[in-house]
Amino acid sequence: MNVYESRPWLRSFSPDLSPTIDPVAYDSIGELVETTSKRYAERPAYSNLGTVLSFREVNRLSDRFAAFLVGELGLGKGDRIVLQMPNLLQYPVAVYGALKAGLVVVNANPLYTAHEMKKVFVDSGAVAIVVLQNFADKLDAVLAETSLKHVILTDVGDLLPPVKRVLTNFVVKHVQKLVPKHTLTATISFRGALAAGARHASVALPPVERDDIALLQYTGGTTGGTKAAVVTHDNLLSNQAQMLAPMRLRLDEGAETVIAALPMYHIFCLTVNCLAFFNYGAHNVLITNPRDTAGLTKTIAATKPSVLILVSTLAASLLDRADFRALDFGPVKLTVAGGMALRGSTASAWHDATGKDILEGYGLTEASPVVAVNPTWAEPRVGTIGLPLPSTDIEMRDDDGNPVPFGESGEMCVRGPQVMQGYWNQPDETAAVLKDGWLLTGDIASMADDGYITIVDRKKDMIVVSGFNVYPSEVEEVAMAHPKVKDAGVIGVPDDRSGEGVVLFVVKADDSLTEDELKTYLKGELAGYKRPKRIVFRDELPKSNVGKVLRRELRDLL
């Protein structure tokens, strides 16, 4: 068997793209930050709310935070620290500082309920937390039931210039009233932590190596249920290098401005923006509230970015705005949709409005996270996730673990340096998804004979109707192609006659849409067993923080 038979995607690679990455030059993420900050010293590294931090400033502040954690709090290598905040300048400072100090970062979604927070805090055994004041009341409710000993509170404007900082924090607390009351005591302010860190500048930080754990990243996982993927410095360093390899064919090092619209506590934005684009010398523009599409549009107009990192739902929301469609998209070199599947209708509308392609990729937390992406050197193949990244192997396997022929669907299995070490304290769950170095993703996909991959659906979301497999994403995509449908979600429900039946949830784009009209349309587009037995109209659908429809919550709407 020649290499193209076992790795057909290599025949689709650009001749300028190596099939493997070079050995990563850094031994830790802290070393990446130090080295990169010296290289791009005074260039803007991050901006947020109109304030810019240079690479030198980010490195200096993260050094102070690391010194505070070790010198003031006495935390040791391997201790877990929770970061719970949206995209603010404090996030990269805190994450770099924690990793320089040898700590393990536990990212927590700010939208978690107190119950969800408690589960993560207890399971991780975290001893410290950096949390935005806006969410401190939820921490207050569960703190006594956790192992957290050190609470660092930050306010939205903490790293803004003095006058702007005072004004911003006053408005957030007293005008917008976004800071609920809490009774937390003996807390430390983020600015106080940085000041203490400056006093401990000479403290010795522990040596950090590639195989050390960097993240406990909580996820629903490939088998369902909340669990933490154990991700090392090497996993993250490798994945950022894998992503940079194709980006280098289109982008210029040290010269790009990137809109970071996904939350950095999400592993996609963390690896893409906090690591890869930072390492590439790019200016990351942090978007605190991407749902404010009016504000985001103004930011894009002001910063003239060359790269946009979005999710499909956000792209669709922006396209609804006339002021966004009127922007000059000339500077844009690259737009990537991550975090969820890209709707074909959105990709088409994006190209019509901007004159630019939007590239879809694929990743999962267990792979740090990126596995494949549409090429930067050719036209994207809409409807596919593109080609595997360098140093990544992919196979589609049947239920018995045997590879399926090209063009046929099977469970996608991934092998590469980005694959996690396992699930935190869950050996059985780990054994279920890691086999002989391969990660079983739980996603059903097919690979064309030239290596392009198409995701069919989640294995666990597949609906079986009278023995026939129905993939919710296919039905959703067809429904979304109707001009009067704005959003769609599909689940299977028990059915006495067929085993399972298809239920379609729809958000209307036009109030005149009727159930009969939509059923007539679907009859012409889908085989009988794929058609919904029931259509439910809703004003909105439950979604995750990155815009994925939460199918498990759709069941509660019936």
Nearest to 96 by CA among 26, 148, 146, 165: 26
Q: What is the pLDDT of residue 469?
A: 67
Residue 186 tokens, joined:
């003996």
- State which amino acid sits at residue 295: G
Residue 148 tokens, joined:
């957290």
Beta bridge partners of 216: 106, 230
Q: What is the pLDDT of residue 179?
A: 96
Q: What is the pLDDT of residue 158?
A: 98
For residues 129 and 79, give the distance between their C-alpha atoms in angstroms, rounded to a whole number.
Answer: 11
Strand order in the sheet with 80-84: 188-189, 150-154, 128-132, 80-84, 104-107, 213-219, 227-232, 422-423
How many angstroms separate the Cα of 493 from the Cα of each of 220, 334, 403, 496, 535?
21, 40, 31, 10, 12
Helices (H), 355-410: none
Classified as helix, coil or strand, 270 is helix
**Is 491 within 8 Å of 472 (Cβ atoms)?**
yes
**Is 12 within 8 Å of 451 (Cβ atoms)?**
yes
For residues 474 and 462, give the distance between their C-alpha atoms in angstroms, rounded to a whole number.
Answer: 11
- As to burial, measured by CB atoms within 10 angstroms (0-12 exposed, 13-18 middle, 19+ buried), residue 89 is buried
Using CA of residue 175, residue 178, residue 182, residue 184, what is the dihedral sign?
Answer: negative
Residue 372 tokens, joined:
């494949």
Per-residue pLDDT of the chain (558 residues; tens, 9 = 90+): 466 778 999 999 999 999 999 999 999 999 999 999 999 999 999 999 999 999 999 999 999 999 999 999 999 999 999 999 999 999 999 999 999 999 999 999 888 888 889 989 999 999 999 999 999 999 999 999 999 999 999 999 999 999 999 999 999 999 999 999 999 999 999 999 999 999 999 999 999 999 999 999 998 665 556 799 999 999 999 999 999 999 999 999 999 999 999 999 999 999 999 999 999 999 999 999 998 999 999 999 999 999 999 988 889 899 999 999 999 999 999 999 987 778 788 899 999 999 999 999 999 999 999 999 999 999 999 999 999 999 999 999 998 999 999 999 999 999 999 999 999 999 999 999 999 999 999 999 999 999 999 988 777 787 878 767 687 888 998 999 999 999 999 999 988 777 789 999 999 999 999 999 999 999 988 878 889 999 999 999 998 877 788 888 998 888
Helices (H), 275-423: 278-279, 293-303, 312-319, 322-325, 344-354
Q: What is the pLDDT of residue 404?
A: 95
Give CA angle at 518 (444, 522), nearest 5°.
45
Beta bridge partners of 494: 500
Classified as helix, coil or strand, 545 is coil
CATH architecture label of 3-23+220-458: 3-Layer(aba) Sandwich (3.40)
Using CA of residue 140, residue 142, residue 147, residue 153, what is the dihedral sign?
Answer: negative
Q: What is the pLDDT of residue 3?
A: 65
Q: What is the pLDDT of residue 312?
A: 84
Residues 6+ apart with CB under 8 A from 123: 226, 228, 424, 425
Residue 320 tokens, joined:
């609804």
How many angstroms separate the Cα of 295 from the Cα of each of 261, 290, 323, 452, 457?
12, 8, 11, 36, 34
For residues 102 and 66, give the distance between their C-alpha atoms in angstroms, rounded to a whole number.
Answer: 9
H, E, C per residue of 520-535: HHHHCCCCHHHCCCEE
For residues 236 and 200, give the distance between their C-alpha atoms in angstroms, rounded to a whole number.
Answer: 28
Give CA angle at 287 (282, 288), nearest 5°.
140
Backbone φ and ψ for 330, nearest 5 degrees, come out as: -55, -45
Q: Do domains 3-23+220-458 and 29-208 have the same CATH topology?
A: yes
For residues 357 and 338, give the distance between their C-alpha atoms in angstroms, rounded to a whole number.
Answer: 14
Nearest to 307 by CA among 255, 264, 385: 255
Give the Cβ contact number of residue 190 at 10 Å. 24
Q: What is the pLDDT of residue 546?
A: 72
For residues 216 and 232, give the distance between their C-alpha atoms in angstroms, rounded to a whole number.
Answer: 9
Residue 38 tokens, joined:
């010296």
For residues 366 and 259, give the distance between their C-alpha atoms in angstroms, rounded to a whole number.
Answer: 25
Residue 109 tokens, joined:
């979604």
Q: What is the pLDDT of residue 95?
A: 98
Radius of gyration in angstroms for the set of CA atoms belonging to the chain, rounded to a whole number: 23
State the Cα torsion 299-303-309-314 to the nearest 10°: 20
H, E, C per residue of 417-441: CCCCCEECCCHHHHHHHEECCEEEE
Residues 6+ apart with CB under 8 A from 298: none
Q: What is the pLDDT of residue 202?
A: 96
Q: What is the pLDDT of residue 64?
A: 98
CATH of 29-208, one of 3.40.50.1820, 1.10.287.70, 3.50.50.60, 3.40.50.980: 3.40.50.980
Give domain limits for the chain: 3-23+220-458, 29-208, 462-557
Residue 17 tokens, joined:
């793209």
Classified as helix, coil or strand, 397 is strand
- As to burial, measured by CB atoms within 10 angstroms (0-12 exposed, 13-18 middle, 19+ buried), residue 352 is exposed
Give CA angle at 236 (230, 240), nearest 5°.
155
How many angstroms separate the Cα of 443 from the Cα of each of 146, 219, 227, 386, 526?
34, 15, 18, 15, 22
CATH of 462-557, one of 3.40.30.10, 3.40.50.1000, 3.30.300.30, 3.30.40.10: 3.30.300.30
Q: What is the pLDDT of residue 438?
A: 98
Nearest to 473 by CA among 451, 454, 493, 486: 454
Backbone φ and ψ for 252, nearest 5 degrees, come out as: -105, 125
Q: What is the pLDDT of residue 542?
A: 93
Classified as helix, coil or strand, 105 is strand
For residues 334 and 254, give the distance between their C-alpha atoms in angstroms, rounded to a whole number.
Answer: 15
Q: What is the pLDDT of residue 485?
A: 96
